[in-house]
Amino acid sequence: MPDLAIDGGKPIRSTMLPYGRQWVDDEDARSVAAVLHSDWLTTGPKVVEFETAFAGTAGTRHAVAVSSGTAALHTAMYALGIEPGDEVIIPAMTFAASANCVVYQGGTPVFADVDPGTLLLDPREAEKKITARTKAVIAVDFAGQPCDYERLRTLAQRRGIKLVADACHALGGSYASKPVGSLADLSTFSLHPVKHVTTGEGGVVTTDDAALAQRMRIFRNHGITSDHRQRETAGGWHYEMVDLGYNYRLTDIQCALGLSQLPKLSEWIARRRQIAGCYDAAFSSLKGLQPLSVRPDTAHAYHLYVIRLDLDRLKVKRDTIFAALRAEGIGVNVHYIPVHLHPFYQKRFATGLGLCPVAESAYERILSLPIFPAMTDRDCDDVIHAVQKVLSAYRM
């Protein structure tokens, strides 16, 4: 329960509105129950069905389902052959998993700064970080806004490196009318409950490259060339492990949930955009904050709605505004601590303050407001009123 509200009175909400939440209905539960009563709980027909449906949504030839968005990123790094000595460029403003995947393969993550308006990877900053050892760039569609793929693709082609999209925030978005998933050599997605559709935990890598897709299917299955169902269909037992892989498989139970969720994506994205539109309208003239900017030619998927506080107009820092909004029952969050400032990266890769000043300055100012399709209009009004109330109390 929230503490006392800012004016010592009743908080705007008596229960906490989270920043994101899944939407699971009876139809989803029935789909999962049907699989529980079937012959295949994992690596059965639902995996292939889900991969086919997902590839359709992403506009690609192949989709490889794995056990999380993190596994999707690791699988992508493996598929590209990242190994010790290789460098991969990553924006500083992202979740740690975007960089961890490089370290899993023994590679070196190299942090590049972001654009101050959108907090997306700045292609000029990425270019400055390219060396003879650079093998790939991971573009992160932060908050659900697709990156500047035209410039990033041109840069990658010109410098002979691969482009990976960490699209874990951006399923359902598009750039220049092309769906997210089809904009890079490999694109990775998360199916965690706060994301656009969920399988509990889960992830997907999409690509048009059949050889990369095959490499990834082997990697997610211990590095073994055939799965249990394929051997059963062929009536044999023999299998070979051709490389060191992992058990990154997604189950049939999870894929049944994903298959039931996926058709609802466009309706849910429309609702996310509607909520973002209400926030935009309410905050456009509110002094003390600015929403992130949205680039032309992109259709935003609004995994997050991020505001930047104008600290020059406020008497307090972000953390006081955070606590005051939580006390009003608004489950605000902070996305993200720039990855290069995490103790692990500072220790292992000698990163630190000053490496990516735009991301570091943004980090002091950002807050993510609740946005998820099951939010009611009343919930949105509560968020708007709470933000107005807290900012007017702390404005200079």
Ligand X SMILES: Cc1ncc(COP(=O)(O)O)c(C=O)c1O
Q: Catalog residues that contact ligand X under the rule CB under 6 A.
A: 68-70, 73, 94-95, 97-98, 140, 166, 168-169, 190, 192, 203
Query: Least distance in Å: CB of 353 to ligand X?
Result: 22
Pairing relation of β-strands 134-140 and 162-166? parallel
Query: Least distance in Å: CB of 366 to ligand X?
Result: 14
- 3-state SS of 191-234? CCCCCCCCCCCCEEEEECCHHHHHHHHHHCECCECCCHHHHHHH
Question: Cβ(17)–Cβ(377) under 8 Å?
Answer: no
Query: Least distance in Å: CB of 95 to ligand X?
Result: 4
Say how many C-beta atoms besides its own lie within 10 A of residue 396's C-beta: 9
Q: What is the DSSP letter of 313?
A: G
Question: Cβ(143)–Cβ(87) under 8 Å?
Answer: no
Cα 353 to Cα 68, 112, 385: the distances in Å are: 30, 13, 35
Q: Which is nearer to ligand X, 164 or 321 (CB)?
A: 164
Distance of alpha carbon 108 from alpha carbon 110, whole angstroms:
6
Q: Which is nearer to ligand X, 123 or 203 (CB)?
A: 203
Give every CB contact of residue 134 below 8 A, 6+ residues apart in sequence.
86, 87, 88, 89, 110, 159, 161
Residue whose token pair is 């706060």? 194
Q: Which is nearer to ligand X, 28 or 166 (CB)?
A: 166
Q: Which is nearer to ligand X, 13 or 100 (CB)?
A: 100
Nearest to 371 by CA among 231, 274, 262: 274
Query: Least distance in Å: CB of 193 to ligand X?
Result: 10
Query: Least distance in Å: CB of 194 to ligand X?
Result: 7
**Active-site pick, 46, 135, 195, 389:** 195
Residue whose token pair is 């056990």? 67
Q: Which is nearer to ligand X, 43 or 100 (CB)?
A: 100
Q: Which is nearer to ligand X, 69 or 373 (CB)?
A: 69
Query: Least distance in Å: CB of 301 to ligand X?
Result: 12
What are the DSSP E strand ranges found in 7-112? 62-66, 87-91, 108-112
Q: Which is nearer to ligand X, 311 or 334 (CB)?
A: 334
Q: Is 195 a catalytic residue?
A: yes
Q: Which H helix or E strand runs over 289?
A: strand 289-291
Query: Least distance in Å: CB of 390 to ligand X?
Result: 26
Question: Cβ(332)–Cβ(19) under 8 Å?
Answer: yes
Residue whose token pair is 């972000």? 318
Q: Which residue's CB comes closest to ligand X?
A: 69
Q: What angle do CA 128, 138, 103 make, to 5 degrees?
A: 100
Q: Which is nearer to ligand X, 69 or 173 (CB)?
A: 69
Question: Cβ(7)–Cβ(384) under 8 Å?
Answer: no
Query: Least distance in Å: CB of 179 to ligand X?
Result: 18
Distance of alpha carbon 284 from alpha carbon 288, whole angstroms:
11
Q: Active-site residues: which are they?
A: 195
